């Protein structure tokens, strides 16, 4: 269920403000909030203030049967051009990081902590940083509760336990063993909201950190209005010698491919750049093209690192598809819906 009239939306906004769960914004324009400067309107955008507020909010929304979706800092979220009818909940304020037992390497990390921030902090605290377990993932909540499937086995091996909110608004502790045997993830954690996770990291001792341990050491975030990384890097344990997601997309000849105002960055094709007037539908089409082409050319299925929520714009207001081109060359074999001509 979602608010079906302006009056109901205003009523819901007042109720949420009275509940005291954090910042509440009605009719939030995600194009103004995201770095890529594209996206539809969200009925209600809530930045919860803390874990207790999240519990109250989920319980409230469950009782009223209001649709909601949880994101991190909305850096890797694309709200489709038709908007999101419901409540988009940000865990940006659930960003605490603390060492609870330095000798045992136990740290507690909030759901809204971004991977880059976590790795830098952990390295500074003297812990080993298993970069391969994180890739370019985004927030911890997205990595552990991703709807695309179970978390990376290397990441799951670090988790001692998680604190989640059930769909009914009840707090629940799940031991890390359930993540590793699959019982706590996929359909287990999906539908539940992560509050925090306890991780067990290994001490680095006197060894200095090296640049290659940190995500982005080789490929930095491109400048300008961009979104990405679009896909997680393949698990090298399962896909030996295939390279990163960016490598695979580049080897499929997709660097620089453009659909309307959206373009796969030439030097970093695991990112999409808004070169002017891009819509989310353009970006989703590029993601599908990259995924399908990599699967065809390399036999690797890329897992998305960007969340796409909401509904597409009505056909009556969509712009006609333009050609997907790369500097005068046909990209060929594009998915249905794109005219791939030079």
Q: Tell me the pLDDT tens digit for each residue of 94-104.
A: 999 999 898 89
Q: How far apart are CA 327 and CA 35, in angstroms?
A: 25
Both tokens assigned to 214? 């940190």
pLDDT at 332 over 70: no
Rounded to a whole number, what is the largest CA-CA distance in the chain? 63
* Cα–Cα dist 329/314, whole Å: 31
Report which DSSP code applies to 114.
B
Residue 341, domain member (yes or no) = no
Q: Which residues contact 52 (CB under 8 A, 6 or more apart)?
A: none
Is residue 277, in this structure, part of any structural domain at all?
Answer: yes
Higher-pLDDT residue of 5 and 32 is 32
Distance between CA atoms of residues 173 and 196, nearest Å:
10
Distances (CA, A) of 44 to 30, 75, 85, 111, 124: 11, 17, 8, 20, 37
Q: Is residue 52 within 8 Å of residue 191, measured between CB atoms?
A: no
CATH number of the domain that residue 169 is part of: 3.30.465.10
Are 192 and 122 in the same domain? yes
Query: Residues 130-145: pLDDT tens digits?
Result: 655 555 557 888 777 7
Distance CA 132, CA 93 (A): 26
Secondary-structure percent of the chain, ordered helix, strand, coil, rounded to 5: 25, 25, 50
Give the model's pLDDT for residue 28: 94
- Residues 182 and 237 placed together within one structural domain of the fold: no
Ordered strands of the 159-165 beta sheet = 97-101, 106-110, 193-200, 159-165, 171-175
Average pLDDT in the chain: 80
Last residue of a domain, one of 160, 188, 211: 211
What DSSP state is assigned to residue 139?
B
For the four alpha carbons of 180, 183, 184 and 185, in that order, the dihedral sign comes to positive
- CATH classification of the domain holding 304: 3.90.78.10
- 122 and 202 together in one domain: yes
Do 86 and 104 belong together in one domain? no
Would you say residue 340 lies in a domain? no
Q: Are residues 164 and 204 in the same domain?
A: yes
Alpha-carbon span 288 to 97, nearest angstrom: 35
Compute the half-sphere exposure of residue 269: CA atoms within 13 Å on the CB side of its CA.
Answer: 24
Reply yes or no on whether the pLDDT at 77 is more than 80: yes
- Give the distance, in angstroms, between the CA of residue 291 and the centroid of all CA atoms in the same chain: 16
Residue 69, in any domain of the structure: yes
Over residues 224-267, the pLDDT tens digits come to: 899 988 888 886 655 556 788 899 999 999 999 999 999 999 88
105 vs 91: CA distance, rounded Å: 25
Residues 14 and 102 occupy one common structural domain: no
Residue 207 lies in a domain: yes
Examine the domain organization and report whether 165 and 236 are in the same domain: no
Burial of 178 (0-12, 13-18, 19+ CB in 10 A): middle
User: Is 342 a member of any domain?
Assistant: no
Q: Do 123 and 81 have their domain in common?
A: no
Helix (H) or strand (E) holding 251: helix 245-251
Look at the block and give the residue holding tokens 């809204």.
112
* Selection from 149, 27, 46 nearest residue 91 by Cα: 46
Confidence at residue 320, expressed as pLDDT on a 0 to 100 scale: 44
Q: 201 with 102, same domain?
A: yes
Give the pLDDT band (50/70/90) at residue 71: confident
Examine the domain organization and report whether 228 and 129 are in the same domain: no
- Domain closes at, from 211, 233, 261: 211
Residue 315 clears pLDDT 60, i.e. is over it: yes
pLDDT confidence of residue 4: 62
Task: Return the DSSP state at 133.
Answer: G
Last residue of a domain, one of 211, 237, 269: 211
Structural domain count, the chain: 3
Give the pair of three-digit tokens for residue 217: 């050491």
Residue range(s) defining the domain that contains residue 139:
97-211
Tell whether the model's pLDDT for residue 166 goes beyond 70: yes
Secondary structure of residue 223 in the 3-state scheme = coil
- Say whether pLDDT at 337 is over 60: no
Is residue 58 located within the same domain as residue 111? no
Residue 299 maps to a domain: yes
Note the pLDDT tens digit of each residue in 276-286: 999 999 999 99
Side-chain half-sphere of 316: how many Cα atoms within 13 Å?
0
Question: Do 81 and 115 fall within a single domain?
Answer: no
196 phi and psi angles, rounded to 5 deg? -160, 165
- Classify residue 338: in a domain, yes or no: no
User: Could you tell me the pTM of the whole model?
Assistant: 0.81
């Amino acid at each position: 269920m979602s608010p079906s009239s302006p009056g109901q939306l205003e009523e819901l906004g007042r109720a949420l403000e009275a509940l005291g769960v954090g910042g509440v914004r009605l009719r939030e324009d995600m194009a103004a909030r995201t770095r890529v400067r594209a996206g539809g309107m969200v009925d209600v955008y809530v930045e919860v203030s803390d874990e207790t507020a999240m519990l109250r909010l989920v319980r409230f929304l469950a009782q009223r049967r209001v649709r909601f979706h949880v994101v991190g800092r909305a850096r890797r979220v694309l709200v489709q051009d038709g908007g999101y009818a419901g409540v988009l909940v940000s865990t940006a304020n659930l960003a605490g990081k603390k060492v609870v037992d330095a000798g045992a390497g136990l740290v507690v990390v909030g759901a809204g902590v971004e991977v880059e921030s976590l790795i830098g902090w952990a390295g500074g605290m003297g812990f080993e940083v298993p970069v391969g377990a994180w890739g370019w993932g985004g927030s911890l909540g997205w990595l552990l509760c991703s709807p695309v499937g179970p978390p990376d086995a290397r990441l799951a091996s670090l988790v001692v336990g998680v604190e989640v909110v059930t769909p009914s608004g009840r707090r629940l502790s799940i031991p890390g063993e359930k993540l590793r045997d699959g019982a706590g993830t996929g359909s287990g954690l999906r539908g539940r909201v992560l509050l925090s996770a306890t991780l067990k990291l290994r001490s680095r001792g006197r060894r200095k950190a090296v640049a290659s341990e940190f995500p982005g050491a080789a490929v930095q975030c491109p400048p300008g209005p961009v979104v990405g990384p679009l896909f997680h890097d393949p698990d090298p344990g399962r896909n030996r010698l295939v390279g990163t997601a960016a490598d695979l997309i580049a080897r499929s000849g997709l660097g620089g491919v453009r659909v309307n105002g959206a373009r796969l960055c030439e030097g970093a094709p695991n990112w999409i750049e808004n070169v002017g007037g891009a819509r989310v539908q353009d970006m989703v089409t590029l993601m599908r093209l990259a995924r399908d082409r990599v699967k065809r050319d390399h036999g690797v299925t890329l897992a998305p690192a960007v969340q796409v929520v909401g509904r597409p714009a009505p056909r009556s207001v969509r712009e006609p598809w333009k050609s997907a081109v790369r500097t005068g060359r046909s990209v060929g074999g594009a998915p249905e819906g794109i005219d791939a001509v030079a």
